[in-house]
Amino acid sequence: MSYNVAVDGPAGAGKSTIARAVAKREHLIYVDTGAMYRAMALHMLRSGVNLEDKAQIVARCQEADISIRYEDGVQVVCLNGENVNAYLRTEQVGDAASRTSPVPEVRKKLVELQKKLAEENDCIMDGRDIGTRVLPHAQLKIYLTASVEVRARRRYEELVGKGETCDLARIQADIEERDYRDMHREESPLMQASDAVLVDTSAMGVEEVIDRICQEIRQRGR
Ligand code: DC
């Protein structure tokens, strides 16, 4: 039986940074499910779909073949055979993913892929519904969060570090809007699983969070 760690939490809580580092330390595969929803959103954007039109999203969803492979431990997301990693981490694609991911047909397709990956590999998987829906029997569940102010500040500093000009208040408003959509949608809303360990990273450094999760893994006797 495979060993699975589920990590959920709102946008900007540091899930991917933390999960990637824990994966390396604990020799797990890191599965970034947000990237799968982003690849699906990219397909919709490229197809010129009206993101308010659910029927169009459902129709286009069928023709998107999304698969995952690993190159030197790095997750590569393929959309109809093309490596699309370079196009996934833009604000436009993130926003489109937040609009298309509530559609049940989109979720069904990607959840099947996620469950299969977790069955076949020891992994740490991050997203919004991993502990509640995708891996309800994960050996460890973490709910990673931080205050909206801290998450906005981190995102702001990341963008400034890349040389982009941005507005902190705007970033915070975008995060609040995305949180609302992720937490209030009908299908698999973001919430803490009843058996998840809550880790609030507002006042924690990255190494401290990684240590904390690795400690939880050890305590469960992996
Ligand atoms: O974690 P992220 O920013 O890459 O996720 C992009 C969007 O995908 C986010 O708005 C919510 C959605 N998502 C989801 O609904 N379920 C997941 N398991 C992962 C992401």
User: Which of 37, 110, 134 for mutating ligand 1's site (highest number of atoms within 8 Å of CB)?
Assistant: 37
Count other C-beta atoms under 10 Å from residue 22's C-beta: 24
**What value does the mean pLDDT take over residues 110-121?**
97
196 Ramachandran zone, left/alpha/beta (phi>0; psi -120 to 50) = beta
Q: Is the CB of 213 under 6 A from ligand 1?
A: no
pTM of the model: 0.94
pLDDT digits (tens, 9 = 90+) for 154-189: 999 988 998 989 999 999 999 999 899 999 999 999
Q: Is the CB of 145 under 6 A from ligand 1?
A: no
Q: How long, in residues, is the chain?
A: 222
Q: Which two tokens stand for residue 124?
A: 């740490």
Q: Is the CB of 101 under 6 A from ligand 1?
A: yes
Q: Is the CB of 38 under 6 A from ligand 1?
A: yes
Q: Which two tokens stand for residue 108?
A: 């069904």
The residue nearest atom 15 of ligand 1, judged by CA position, is 101
Residues 7, 15: Cα–Cα separation, whole Å = 7
